[in-house]
Structure formats: structure tokens, C-alpha cells
């Protein structure tokens, strides 16, 4: 039996909270917030499956990389195998140390036999975090500019 969207949203929020991230509204389908979960340093995309395998597309990785570059965060792709109750993180090797720091709070709260000791991770340079603020007027101005540019291009071809 197929699972309902409500179940996936709840599951997504639980996984993001377990990783120490804040779930985004509507799985990042909005105009400003992207990804399934974020914090100050990390942006995350989650794919869950009931199957025993998951086919990873390069396009999915490129999308989360793009959103991470725009927001100056570390991209993380998470694959969850629901039946096996396993969660795997996919990250570039050069981002691994920064990711360990970015997810530190999430790992400290977990009760497991193994844990990540953040003190052993050497300091790396701090990335500047730029927050993009938007408003209704800015969004409307963007759409009118794009529409006027489109109309000019159409007139040039006539």
C-alpha cells in the first residue's frame, strides 16, 4: 500500500530533526527556502525509499549543490531506506570536516554507542553566510522585469 504525503512530511521532519536541522516548509518548494532541511551551515535534501536500492542521479546532486552555493552552505544529500531503518549521508570529501561541525548539535543529542567527537575536527576557515531577504514587492518587480524583457525579445523577432 502506498504511503500518504502526510506520512512522508512527518518522516522528513523527524529525519531532519535527528540530524540537527530545521525542516523547511513544503520540502523547500517555496520561493526562498530550498532543500528539505537547513541550519546555519548545512542545506540538506532527503530521498526516502521502501525499496532495497536507490538510483542516485547526478542532476539531484547538482540541484542541491546549486542551492548550497546560492545560500553559502554545505550541501548534503540524504538517502533513507525505510524498511532497514538506515540513513546515509552523501557529501563531497572536502566538505566532510565542515559538515561534522555543521551537524554537531544533532549528533550530540543522539543516544548511540558511537558518536562524533567534534573536538578532534581541526578548525577550518569560516564561511560567510549571506541571508537573502525577499519581499512581495521585490518578487513582483522581478516578474515585471522578466516579462518586459520577454516582450522586447518577442518584438525583435517580428
DSSP 63: H
Digit-coded pLDDT (tens) for 117-156: 555 555 555 566 666 667 888 888 888 988 888 887 777 6
pTM: 0.60
pLDDT of 23 higher than 60: yes
pLDDT of 104 higher than 60: yes
DSSP 22: E
The values of phi and psi at residue 16, to 5°, are: -65, -40
Contact 36, 28 (CB under 8 A): yes
Residue 55: the pLDDT is: 92
Residue 124: the pLDDT is: 54
Helix then strand then coil, % of the chain, to nearest 5? 45, 15, 40
Q: Domains plus CATH for the chain?
A: 5-126 (3.40.1350)
Residue 13: the pLDDT is: 84
Q: What distance separates the 2 farthest-apart alpha carbons in the chain?
A: 70
Amino acid at each position: 500500500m502506498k504511503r500518504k504525503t502526510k506520512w512522508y512530511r512527518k518522516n522528513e521532519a523527524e529525519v531532519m530533526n535527528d540530524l540537527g536541522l530545521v525542516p523547511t516548509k513544503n520540502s523547500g518548494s517555496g520561493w526562498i527556502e530550498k532543500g528539505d532541511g537547513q541550519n546555519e551551515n548545512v542545506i540538506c535534501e532527503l530521498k526516502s525509499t521502501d525499496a532495497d536500492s536507490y538510483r542516485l542521479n547526478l542532476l539531484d546532486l547538482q540541484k542541491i549543490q546549486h542551492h548550497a552555493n546560492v545560500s553559502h552552505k554545505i550541501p548534503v544529500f540524504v538517502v533513507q531506506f525505510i524498511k532497514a531503518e538506515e540513513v546515509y549521508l552523501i557529501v563531497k570529501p572536502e566538505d566532510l570536516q565542515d559538515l561534522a561541525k555543521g551537524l554537531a548539535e544533532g549528533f550530540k543529542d543522539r543516544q548511540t554507542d558511537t558518536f562524533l567527537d567534534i573536538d578532534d575536527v581541526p578548525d577550518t576557515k569560516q564561511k560567510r553566510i549571506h541571508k537573502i531577504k525577499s519581499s512581495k514587492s521585490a518578487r513582483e518587480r522581478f516578474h515585471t522585469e522578466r516579462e518586459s524583457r520577454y516582450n522586447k525579445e518577442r518584438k525583435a523577432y517580428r
